[in-house]
């Protein structure tokens, strides 16, 4: 039996490669998916593909009003929210000294404030159905020290803390909150837009490749599902072994 039959799922950042992959995977598992993006045209093909079990929500994750409207859209179309995936993200390359204050705030607002607002917005809906699951898409930058990604890394450490706090606060209401920490995924966020080069190399990690978006989607669906029903405040890492450190070069 599909794991999410008739459940209502909101996915932010659904226009991106990972968001699109997750929307397809949740729909394949029986969910009714609310596709969150800044503009409908960004997800028009996805909405057409998913058909009547998908709805669009115009969602700037930094806006409380947009969040309230997105939850209202979900409830009107499909009923109370079962699952929220906080996936929208912004990455700007820059060190602590080189990143501008404006850039730092932009990243924090999207990645951390957006996640905070999403949790606050969906909890009343989840309470109405007596439970739910929130999955925050984090990063290895939220566990290690991502030099050169000062704003992004800081935002993801904040999301890590927020995930644990919310899990502790909401667990007695049968609302689970977990984090998924991907390594470098084959998406535009992995590359420096100015140079086209990878922000972080993968050649010396144990699995020397980028992650496929569907590999990460599979982990997100597990964390959101009843199969992970005893996990809350947990960190699911899929990073190709990056956090283990580089594989030593063999000695001749």
Domains of the chain, each with CATH number or no CATH: 8-240 (3.40.50.720)
- The three-class DSSP label of residue 186 is coil
pLDDT given for residue 188 in this prediction: 78
pTM of the model: 0.94
d(CA 90, CA 82): 25
- pLDDT for residue 198: 81
Task: List the one residue out of 207, 189, 200, 86 whose CA is nearest residue 147.
Answer: 200
Q: Rounded to whole angstroms, how far apart are CA atoms 33 and 37?
A: 13
pLDDT of residue 187: 81
Residue 200 is predicted with a pLDDT of 72
pLDDT in the model for residue 252: 63
Q: How many residues can be counted in the chain?
A: 252
Predicted pLDDT at 251: 61
Helix H, strand E, coil C: the string for 26-79 is: HHHCCCEEEEEECCHHHHHHHHHHHHHHEEEEECCCCCHHHHHHHHHHHHHHHC
pLDDT at 193: 79
pLDDT in tens, 159-212: 999 999 999 999 999 999 999 999 989 887 777 778 888 867 788 999 999 999
230 is catalytic: no
Whole-number pLDDT of residue 197: 83
List per-residue pLDDT tens for the chain, 252 residues long.
799 999 999 999 999 999 999 999 999 999 999 999 999 999 999 999 999 999 999 999 999 999 999 999 999 999 999 999 999 999 998 999 999 999 999 999 999 999 999 999 999 999 999 999 999 999 999 999 989 999 999 999 999 999 999 999 999 999 999 999 999 898 877 777 788 888 677 889 999 999 999 999 999 999 999 999 999 999 999 999 999 999 987 666
* In contact, 163 and 116? CB cutoff 8 Å: no
List of residues 6+ apart from 184 with CB closer than 8 A:
190, 198, 199, 200, 202, 210, 211, 239, 240, 242
How are strands ordered across the β-sheet holding 175-182?
Answer: 54-58, 32-37, 8-11, 81-86, 132-137, 175-182, 235-238
Contacts of 135 (CB under 8 A, 6+ apart): 83, 84, 85, 86, 177, 178, 179, 180, 220, 223, 224
């Amino acid at each position: 039996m599909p794991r999410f039959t008739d459940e209502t799922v909101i996915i932010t950042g659904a226009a991106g490669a990972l968001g699109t992959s997750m929307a397809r995977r949740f729909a394949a598992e029986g969910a009714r998916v609310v596709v969150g993006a800044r503009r409908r045209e960004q997800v028009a093909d996805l909405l057409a593909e998913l058909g009547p079990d998908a709805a669009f929500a115009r969602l700037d994750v930094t806006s409380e009003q947009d969040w309230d409207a997105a939850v209202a859209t979900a409830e009107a179309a499909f009923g109370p929210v079962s699952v929220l995936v906080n996936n929208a993200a912004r990455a700007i390359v820059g060190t602590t000294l080189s990143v501008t204050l404006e850039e730092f705030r932009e990243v924090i607002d999207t990645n951390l404030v957006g996640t905070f607002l999403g949790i606050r917005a969906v909890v009343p809906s989840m309470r109405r159905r007596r439970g739910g699951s929130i999955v925050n898409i984090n990063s290895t930058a939220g566990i290690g020290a991502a030099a050169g990604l000062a704003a992004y890394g800081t935002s993801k450490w904040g999301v890590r803390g927020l995930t644990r706090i919310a899990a502790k606060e909401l667990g007695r209401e049968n609302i689970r909150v977990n984090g998924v920490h991907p390594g470098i995924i084959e998406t535009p966020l992995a590359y420096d837009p100015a140079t086209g080069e990878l922000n972080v190399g993968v050649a010396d990690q144990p699995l020397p490749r980028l992650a496929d978006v569907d590999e990460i989607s599979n982990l997100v669906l597990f964390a959101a599902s009843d199969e992970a029903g005893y996990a809350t405040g947990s960190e699911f890492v899929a990073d190709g072994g990056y956090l283990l450190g580089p594989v030593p070069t063999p000695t001749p």
